[in-house]
């Protein structure tokens, strides 16, 4: 798959996962904003005046959950699409009411191909 020129905000508290995503997205031409948690992400969202095309965020985080962060992002950057990632299965997350059925979701661990494919799928909708 070809890369993209879109801006992706990655919010993930696990440094090794963030490094992996940074490497994959950077080598595929995406512009990357990254945060280690929701509070840092909120500061980036407020400061970034250009479009944010995609929020790639962990579902379960301290302070704000992924869905809460996505709602805050939508108020400032309504153009942003959202892709959630988690080590929990999508069925477990939907079953516990964390995400709605049909929400864009990528289960950890994932490889570079799966990440790029899913990002393209979300951005093309």
Q: What is the DSSP letter of 75?
A: H
**89: confidence class by pLDDT, cuts 50, 70, 90:** confident
Alpha carbons 60 and 85: distance in angstroms, whole number: 9
Contact 6, 29 (CB under 8 A): no
- pLDDT tens-digit profile of 18-51? 999 999 999 999 999 999 999 999 999 999 999 9
Note the pTM of the prediction, 2 decimals.
0.90
Smallest CA-to-CA distance from 117 within 103, 101, 104 is with: 104
pLDDT of residue 88: 74
Beta strands in the chain (DSSP E): 7-11, 31-35, 54-58, 81-86, 105-107
Find the mean pLDDT for residues 109-121: 95
């Amino acid at each position: 798959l070809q890369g993209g020129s879109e801006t992706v905000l990655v919010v993930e508290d696990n440094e090794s996962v963030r490094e992996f995503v940074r490497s994959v997205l950077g080598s595929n031409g995406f512009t990357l904003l990254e945060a280690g948690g929701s509070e840092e992400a909120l500061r980036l969202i407020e400061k970034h005046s250009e479009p944010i095309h995609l929020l790639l965020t962990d579902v379960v985080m301290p302070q704000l959950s992924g869905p809460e962060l996505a709602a805050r992002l939508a108020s400032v950057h309504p153009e942003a699409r959202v892709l959630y990632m988690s080590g929990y299965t999508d069925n477990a997350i939907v079953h516990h009411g964390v995400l709605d059925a049909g929400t864009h979701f990528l289960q950890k661990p994932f490889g570079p191909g799966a990440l790029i494919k899913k990002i393209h799928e979300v951005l093309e909708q």
